Every structure is written in structure tokens, then in C-alpha cells.
Structure 1
Amino acid sequence: MAKESCDGCGRTITVAGGIANIWSFSNQPSTGIMLEFEDGSDHLLCYPCIEQLPDDPSEADVAALEEYDPEADADTDADTSEN
């Protein structure tokens, strides 16, 4: 699997398919997608960032996304596992 960084938050995105998987039998899905906006910009974004975008996103909306904080995810995972 190829790995890239999300243009919005910097989270590592796994990209399925392509030449990177020619010798791999991994069934791991992609964790992001490349989007082209009406303003002509294109961005590789993770699914959590895509969910935060408005209906008609622009490059400014991607720039406004917050950086990924892995420690915040660890805190969230700990909170949900205790329930």
C-alpha cells in the first residue's frame, strides 16, 4: 500500500491499488481520496477531513482544517473502551 499525508490534517493516508500493491495481497481499504474542487485545486484528504468540509469547498477550507493530533485520538479511544 502506498502511504501519503492528508493535505488537511497531515494524518497518514493509505492508498489502495496501483503499482504499490502489485505484489501485495492486502485487502486493506483506502483511508482517503483525492478531490478536485471547483476553484481548480486538488487535495488528498482523509475521510475525517472530508466530513468537516462545507458543501462547496475551496482551497481555503482545506487550509482551515486543524492538524491531526494522535494523542487526542488515544484519549478518545481510551474513553470509548472504558464504557
Structure 2
Amino acid sequence: MSRDPCDGCGKPVPISGGIANLWSFSGDEAGGMTLEFDSDGSEHFLCFDCIERLPDDPTAADVAALEEAEARDDD
């Protein structure tokens, strides 16, 4: 299973599928999903924890706020 960084917190998130699981039927699950915003066409891959932190009807600005909050927490 491969991993991609979350656009909100930067932590590596498992991605299901791909060549790593070609011969495996172990039922690996993804740890996040990609959100696409129609308003600006942007896509953001977020872990489920970051998705839960978003408000109802989120925008790309809400995702950016997650990134800024994480950067402040790291300092």
C-alpha cells in the first residue's frame, strides 16, 4: 500500500489500490480521500481526521486554514 501526504496536516496517509495490491486481496483501506471544489477546480487529498475538522459545505479556504493551523501547531 502506498502513502500520500495529507494536504491538511502533512501526515502520510495510506492509499488503497495500485500495483502494491495487485495480487493481494487483503482488503486494505484508504486513510483519506480527495475533495474537489467546483468553485475553483482545486483538489485536496485529506486524511479522515482533517475531513472531520472541516465545516459543513467546506471551501478551499477551509482546507488552507487546516494547513495554517497545522503549521502554527508545529512551531
Instruction: Return the offset for 1:25.
Output: 4.5
Residue equivalent to 1:41: 42
Root mean square deviation of aligned Cα: 2.0
| Change in CA separation of 1:67 and 1:24 when aligned onto 2, cut-off 3 Å | farther
**Structure 1 runs (4+) greater than 6 angstroms displaced:** none
Count of aligned pairs: 69
Tell which structure's C-alpha radius of gyration is larger.
Answer: 1
Residue equivalent to 1:50: 51
Give the AA of the match of 2:58: P
Contact kept? 1:38, 1:58, Cα under 8 Å? no
Could you state the TM-score of these two structures normalised by the residue count of structure 2?
0.76
Could you state the TM-score of these two structures normalised by the residue count of structure 1?
0.70
Give the AA of the match of 2:13: I
Instruction: Give 5+ residue unaligned stretches, structure 2.
Output: none
Give the AA of the match of 2:3: K
Give the AA of the match of 1:67: E
- Is the deviation greater in 5-14 or in 52-61? 52-61
Instruction: Give 5+ residue unaligned stretches, structure 1.
Output: 70-83
Contact kept? 1:13, 1:46, Cα under 8 Å? yes
1:31 & 1:47 partners in 2: Cα distance? 6
Give the AA of the match of 2:49: P
